[in-house]
Amino acid sequence: MDNKQIYNVPQSNKERNNLRSLIDQFVSNRLLTPPLSMEDLYLLSDQLIEEHKLDTGIKGWIMVEVNNCIWRDTVASIPYDKRILLLPKCLSNSKNCKADVDELGLLCYRCKHCSIPDLQDKAESLGMMSIVAEGFTSVIGLIENRVVDTVIGVSCLDSLEKAFPLLINNAVPGLAIPLNRAGCKDTDVDYDYVSQMISLRSDKDANFLDYDHLKSTLQAWFSKENIASLLASSDDQTSMITRDCLAGDGKRWRPYLLASTYLALSGEKEIPDKVRLAAIAVECFHKASLVHDDIQDNDNLRYGKPTVNAQYGVPIAINVGDMLLGEGYRLLTDCGNMELVKVAAEAHIALCKGQGTELEWSRNPRILTMDFVLDIFCNKTVPAFDVSLIMGVLCVGNDKQLTTTLHNYSRALGIAYQLQDDMEDFETEHPVALRPSAVLAIICEQCRDDQFIDSLMTCADLKTFLNLAENKPLLEEALRQVKQKAEQYHKEALDALHEITNIELKRLLFRVTQRILK
């Protein structure tokens, strides 16, 4: 919502209610599972406007109401005591309001000069929390900490311009009711509609993942004590380094994705041993790839600490990486599902192919193409996401259609992630070594100067060379095109989620996409 001309609100209560009925019918005719992206909401709103010849000036209002339709059933399934009603101060009667304002919002005296006390009384009578404050950002923390699971908020469209994307990108189930007119005081809202949204309730129970609990569970899995109980217990040097490596620093994205995929699909609250072992195995494979990567790239630091090869030398580091692989496959066999072993092995082989192609090019640098680079990404980066998600599905069953969807999602996510990583290389102060990258591929495809290409393929620091005055325009154009491609694949990742009908799995992957791709 970046165009002020789309911020109009339908003028009368009757017109607004008629449009809400129209939107409800429009949405019900489509198989839509929340959450939807901002791009999805734009497109749906455009379709509705075109089909019914509506005023384009109310597009922002329509987007909000379409999103309400998408989330309405989910919000209705959330207990009242896990909801919060957010009202704006501008609903108060500025001439008669005597309420104080503190850091939490307006302290209403229930003077009855505006609709605020009636709406708060209704919400609180149902067991809902309610606050009077500006902006949805004030309740995001409550949602992230699971104090509440949903927000029903009243706000002007101008304020929603900032808050709405925040709710969308965090996949927050919620309803937003636009004020009938903008202004910083004495505004009004459709009271009956707000009251109706507050009162929504269904017989279904929402099944939301407790992300904080899952993260603390993962932390316990990778404690030194737990790793020591699972891996080889001998006191030889290789075993001890392997245990320290697995229990060391890391984001744990892969075990998190596997475990949360299982929880979302199964509806279970606890994680069984087979899933726990599979998740730890996935991290074994990841740590092994890092140990071997550090050797191949001759890196001395990982997570700000000396790498295994820097501390103990290359031969021992190779051995530690191999032991991590062996431990990972041993843990998978204990899960009792050979499909898990097959998926891990296929991802392992693809990773080796991708890494091998990159290493071979580094020994013999030559003109790059984007297709060549994307092929490396698909083998080296994509399986890192794909294997965790597919193994999470296999721990529940074997849904072939979902597996295909997750393959498509992982491909787009992995490519977007690596494109973003290639751009970020040029945003740090560190030198950039010559390696196959999207930035370098675009420059090679655009420049046919043999002398320049020869200089490019022999430079020690790609960043310094490309930042020379005569070369910088090429770098800037390449970065622009890589950013454009990253946005394209980001959109493809979100589009792939359209096929997912499990709301919590879709919410999970929506949030993961936004966090990984920032």
Say which CATH class 350-518 falls into: mainly alpha
Q: What is the pLDDT of residue 400?
A: 94
Considering only the top CATH level, what class is 207-336?
Answer: mainly alpha
Paired tokens of 12: 């009368």
| pLDDT tier for residue 70 given thresholds of 50, 70 and 90 | very high
- Output helix, strand, coil percentages for the chain, rounded to the nearest 5: 65, 5, 30
pLDDT at position 316, please? 96
Q: Judge contact between 198 and 119, C-beta under 8 A.
A: yes
Q: What is the pLDDT of residue 110?
A: 64
Length of the chain, in residues: 518
Mean pLDDT, range 68-81, rounded to an integer: 96
Q: How far is CA 476 from the centre of its chain?
A: 28
**How sure is the predictor about 31, in pLDDT bands with cuts at 50, 70 and 90?**
confident
Strand 105-107 and strand 150-155: the pairing is: unpaired
Q: Which residue ranges make up each domain of the chain?
A: 4-199, 207-336, 350-518
Q: How far apart are the first and last CA of the chain?
A: 19
**pTM here?**
0.90
Query: Are the beta carbons of 142 and 174 closer than 8 angstroms?
Result: no
pLDDT value at residue 105 = 57
- Measure the CA–CA gap between 498 and 115, rounded to whole angstroms: 39
Contact 367, 444 (CB under 8 A): yes
The pLDDT value given to residue 508: 94
Confidence band, pLDDT 50/70/90 cuts, at residue 139: confident
Q: Fold identical between 207-336 and 350-518? A: yes
Which secondary structure element, helix H or strand E, spans residue 178, and what is its range?
strand 174-178
| pLDDT tens by residue, 206-253 | 888 888 789 899 999 999 999 999 997 788 999 999 999 999 988 899
Compute the mean pLDDT over every residue in the chain, rounded to the nearest whole number: 91
More confident residue, 186 or 461: 461
Q: Cα separation of 113 and 291, whole Å?
A: 67
Share of the chain above pLDDT 90, in %: 73
Phi, psi of 151 (to 5 degrees): -125, 135
Q: How many CA atoms lie within 13 A of 514 on its CB side?
A: 17
Rounded CA-CA distance 10/181 in Å is 9
